[in-house]
């Protein structure tokens, strides 16, 4: 693309190639997270978070990363438009205004791209309509993403806006992994299938792992364990996702901070018929009051480990259920892949919790999997190996960076 924009600072015109900044927006139902990146060296210029949008206790925290202290604004921020305008003002105060000709594009995290979007996509009216058509399968996420896109378009109508989909990396899953074994006509009529989420993270981490191992991603089979508050596993063969643990929604799969992960679907009928719960109540139970928080009252792994170390039995059982599920997925994905070259831990828990990493792979020596205690104990923000020197399968910790991946994909799309 060679769009020409006017540069008010020089009075002349410059090509899109001079624009090197990307703003990444992650719009949730009541929050907006933003990061401004300089793609010349992939560094961050500023990050921010607006939370509790629409409430009287809204808060904006803006952190300039090239000098300057974090700044905070308290007081009601009515909607996403106001949130983004406030973020734009903070950026402008640091000389990083969104009207700058150095801004190349805005990259949006979009949760659900269905089957249509397997690549980052420049947002047109047609693309936005398709994201709207997917609202029934992502009622919590896509509406917020759409609001974020519309607001950003109103602020900079001339600028390319790019959607990077959480589901995109998983569109390579074969049909036998993506389909539920339910009546085909019913499933197709309602677009019921396994889509998978956290794809931006799984894509980034699998590529970074290949770099860490010094081998082409095309040669490697790996299991990526994204363990944050939300958690998902994926099996990646030659850089392509062949299986992942989240399904139609992010509820399926691993035990998470507040989500149950896998349960017999009959649990929901039982809750309706026997416990008299409404569909919305069951939805809230399984998404917000289950997982670690439902099992022991805490969803922060640091707190759970502290309680386990003090002999708290509920916390210990919650930890064991979390680990058991993780181990089942490692076993299942080893079978799906046939040969495993690397198991990779990422996100808040995966990057920071040595006890989770140790317990998840304990007893799997028969699979060639082992964790070296000293290497596992090292705290670092860098990608690193934690398997013993002579291990058959590499075990690695690779910090994820979804914003950098979104910025990279966005920039690549608009820069050529
Ligand atoms: P998300 O993006 O899904 O909200 P993160 O990837 O940031 O989540 O992970 C957040 C979780 O990481 C926290 O809920 C906590 O359980 C875990 N976590 C963060 N730091 C540590 C740590 N030092 N030790 C153990 N767990 C940690």
Residue 229 alpha carbon to ligand 1 centre in Å: 6
| 278 in the same domain as 129 | no
Check if 7 is active-site: no
Q: For residue 227, how far is its CA from the centre of ligand 1 (angstroms)?
A: 8
pTM: 0.93
Is the shortest distance between the CB of 299 and ligand 1 below 6 Å?
yes
Residue 190 domain-assigned? no
Report the SS3 class of residue 416.
Answer: coil
Among candidate residues 18, 79, 158, 166, the one labeled active-site is 166
Domain that holds residue 371: 214-402
pLDDT at position 137, please?
86
Per DSSP, 217 falls in state: G
- Residue 339 CB–ligand 1 contact under 6 Å: no
Q: Which residues of the chain have pLDDT under 50?
A: 1-16
Residue 221 marked ligand-binding: no
If you search the block for the tokens 């993506």, which residue do you land on? 178
For 2-29, what is each residue's pLDDT tens digit? 333 333 333 333 444 589 999 999 998 8
Strand ranges, E, within 213-336 = 221-227, 231-237, 240-244
Whole-number Å distance between alpha carbons of 229 and 243: 21
* 33 domain-assigned: yes
Collapsed DSSP state (helix, strand, coil) of residue 411: helix
28, 229, 402: residue to mutate for ligand 1 pocket, most atoms within 8 A of CB: 229
Contact 254, 198 (CB under 8 A): no
Residue 286 tokens, joined? 């399984």
The answer to whether residues 223 and 154 belong to one domain is no
Instruction: From the CA of 400, give the closest atom in ligand 1.
Output: 6
**What integer pLDDT is reported at residue 17 of this predicted model?**
53
Does 350 lie in the same domain as 262? yes
Atom of ligand 1 nearest to the CA of 292: 16
State the pLDDT at residue 9. 36
Map tokens 């903070």 to a residue: 90
Reported in sequence order, the residue ranges of 89-217 that DSSP labels E, i.e. its strands, are 103-110, 121-122, 161-165
Instruction: Say yes or no: 278 and 358 in one domain.
Output: yes
The answer on whether 300 is annotated among ligand-binding residues is: yes
Q: State if residue 291 touches ligand 1 by the CB under 6 angstroms criterion.
A: no
**Residue 105 three-state SS:** strand
Provide the pLDDT for residue 10.
Answer: 37
Return the residue matching tokens 């860490």. 212
Say which CATH number the domain at 332 has: 3.30.420.40
What is the side-by-side strand order in the sheet with 121-122?
71-74, 59-64, 43-51, 32-38, 21-27, 103-110, 161-165, 121-122
Q: Which of 223, 222, 175 is nearest to 329 (CA)?
A: 223
Q: How many domains does the chain fold into?
A: 2
Say whether 303 counts as a known binding-site residue: no
User: Model confidence over 326-380: pLDDT tens digits?
Assistant: 999 999 999 999 999 999 999 999 999 999 999 999 999 999 999 999 999 999 9
């Amino acid at each position: 693309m060679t769009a020409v924009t006017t540069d008010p600072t020089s009075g002349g015109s410059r090509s899109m190639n001079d624009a090197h900044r990307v703003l990444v927006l992650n719009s949730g139902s009541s929050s907006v997270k933003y990061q401004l990146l300089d793609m010349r060296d992939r560094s961050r210029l500023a990050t921010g978070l607006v939370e509790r949008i629409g409430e009287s206790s809204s808060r904006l925290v803006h952190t300039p990363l090239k000098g300057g202290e974090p700044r905070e604004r308290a007081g009601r921020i009515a909607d996403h438009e106001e949130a983004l305008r406030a973020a734009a003002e903070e950026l402008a105060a640091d000389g990083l205004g969104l009207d700058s000709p150095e801004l190349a594009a805005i990259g949006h995290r979009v949760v659900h791209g269905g089957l249509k979007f397997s690549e980052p996509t420049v947002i047109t009216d047609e693309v936005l309509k398709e994201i709207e058509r997917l609202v029934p399968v992502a009622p919590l996420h896509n509406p917020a993403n759409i609001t974020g896109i519309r607001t950003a378009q109103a602020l900079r109508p001339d600028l390319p806006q790019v959607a990077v989909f959480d589901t995109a990396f998983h569109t390579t899953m074969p049909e036998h992994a993506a389909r539920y074994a339910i009546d085909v006509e019913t499933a197709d009529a309602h677009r019921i299938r396994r889509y998978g989420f956290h794809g931006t993270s799984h894509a980034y981490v699998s590529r970074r792992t290949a770099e860490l191992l010094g081998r082409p991603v095309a040669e490697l089979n790996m299991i990526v364990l994204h363990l944050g508050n939300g958690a998902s596993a994926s099996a990646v063969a030659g850089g392509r996702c062949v299986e992942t643990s989240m399904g139609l929604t992010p509820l399926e799969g691993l035990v998470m901070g507040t989500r149950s992960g896998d349960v017999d679907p009959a649990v929901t009928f039982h809750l309706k018929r026997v416990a008299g719960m409404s569909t919305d109540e069951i939805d809230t139970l399984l998404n917000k009051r289950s997982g670690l928080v439902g099992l022991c009252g805490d969803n922060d792994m640091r707190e759970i480990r502290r309680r386990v170390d003090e002999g708290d039995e509920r916390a210990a059982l919650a930890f064991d259920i979390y680990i058991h599920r993780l181990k089942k997925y490692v076993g299942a994905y080893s079978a799906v892949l046939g040969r495993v070259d690397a198991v990779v831990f990422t996100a808040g828990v995966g990057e920071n919790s040595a006890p989770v990493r140790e317990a998840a792979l304990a007893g799997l020596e028969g699979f060639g999997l082992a964790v070296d205690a000293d290497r596992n104990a090292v705290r670092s923000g860098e990608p690193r190996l934690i398997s013993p020197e002579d291990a058959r399968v590499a075990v690695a910790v690779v910090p994820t960076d979804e914003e950098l991946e979104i910025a990279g994909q966005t920039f690549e799309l608009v820069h050529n």
